[in-house]
Amino acid sequence: MNPSNSLINLFCRYSGFMTLACVVLLCVCAVCTADGLTPLENPLGADSNQGKYAALLSPGIKPGERKTVDVNGVQFAFRWCPAGTFMMGSPISQARRKGAEEPHLVTLTKGFWMMETEVTQQQWNAVMGYNPSGFKGGDLPVENVSRYDCQKFCKKCSELGLPVQLPTEAQWEYACRAWSTTSYFWGNALNGDKANCNGRFPWGTNVQGAFAGQTVPVGCYDPNAWGLYDMHGNVWEWCEDLFAAYSKENVIDPIGESEYPDRVIRGGSWNYAASECRSETRYGKSPKDRGKHLGFRGAITIGN
């Protein structure tokens, strides 16, 4: 048999299968494109994202060091919070303190990057593609988000290469204080002048102050020593921990554990009295709750 004829016969025998395979491959590509799916040769988290946020995966040099990254075209700013030890809770001698604020020494063995501001509506929309907030404005903090919603946001950020998580309660208070020992990072009085709260119910002073009646753009008030804005007031911020009584002993890298499902919220909000915006104020909230007073900020712990 002529060798050239054998090759022609072999090609004819299998050409139908080859054509079918090509058609199937083209159909798959078409479906991926139509549904907005990422093609297999460029999966989410592949080379396009590797190293994109490397600057935030290593420790900072000094407290309050600032780094920024772009997520889908929107800037996210972080401040460095070094490892350290601090007194968590409120002094026994403090007037009108709450029983859940038992003072105890806490050591955080790992430094972390804390978002400079509460997550804004612009940042939320860049990651999630919608805006759940009641008060609309790109520079306003996102609110009306449950803890479950916040975890979905963190998961999507991680898929993009930015391993953001909710801060632990100890991380939150440590970052809020920034080495201060007073009820607010500037001192022991608030009436709406230095943070967005209901100033008609002041703390540490008898002088009534401002009440905005809603959230305000992040960064309107002075930051603390580590460059963090709105740790007091504006919106309550979800934390990672279950709400539980503090240990009376010195603790290392604590994470609240409880038989109850409530999760910690911190910082107070625009519609709460000044006393509820103190560094040490803490409450438990159902993780499914939402409201115009509930928001959050993300953190990245180095060494996890």
pLDDT per residue as tens, the chain (304 positions): 444 444 334 333 434 433 333 333 333 333 333 333 333 233 333 334 557 788 898 999 999 999 999 999 999 999 999 999 999 999 888 777 777 999 999 999 999 999 999 999 999 999 999 999 999 999 999 999 999 999 999 999 999 999 999 999 999 999 999 999 999 999 999 999 999 999 999 999 999 999 999 999 999 999 999 999 999 999 999 999 999 999 889 999 999 888 889 999 999 999 999 999 999 999 999 999 999 999 999 999 998 6
One domain for residues 75 and 118:
yes
Whether residue 238 sits in one domain with residue 90: yes
Query: Does residue 82 fall inside a structural domain?
Result: yes
> pTM (2 decimals)?
0.83
Same domain, 103 and 250: yes
**Distance (Å, whole) CA 61 – CA 41:** 38
DSSP-derived secondary structure letter, 184: B
Q: Is residue 213 part of a domain?
A: yes
Do 16 and 130 fall within a single domain?
no
With respect to residue 45, please indicate whether it lies within any of the assigned structural domains.
no
- CA–CA gap between residue 54 and residue 66 (Å, rounded): 14
Q: Are residues 26 and 74 in the same domain?
A: no
Q: Which of 63, 264, 65 is nearest to 147 (CA)?
A: 264
CATH classification at residue 72: 3.90.1580.10
User: Does residue 44 sit within a domain?
Assistant: no
Are 145 and 271 part of one and the same domain?
yes
> For residue 47, is it within any domain?
no
Token pair 């996890």 is at which residue?
A: 304
Spatial contact of 201 and 269, defined as CB atoms under 8 Å apart: no
**46 lies in a domain?**
no
Please give the tally of structural domains in the chain.
2
Beta-strand pair 104-108/251-252? parallel
Domain shared by 141 and 228, yes or no: yes
- Domain check: are 287 and 216 in the same one? yes
Which range marks the domain in which residue 126 is found?
A: 54-301
Largest CA distance in the chain: 108
Say if residue 102 is in the same domain as residue 176: yes
- Write down the pLDDT at residue 304: 66
pLDDT value at residue 22: 37
Q: Are residues 144 and 210 in the same domain?
A: yes
In a domain, 212, yes or no: yes
Q: Report which DSSP code applies to 56.
A: G
70 in any annotated domain: yes
Q: Are residues 230 and 90 in the same domain?
A: yes
DSSP three-state, residue 289: coil
* Predicted local confidence at residue 260, as pLDDT: 86
CB-based contact 133:119 (threshold 8 Å) = no
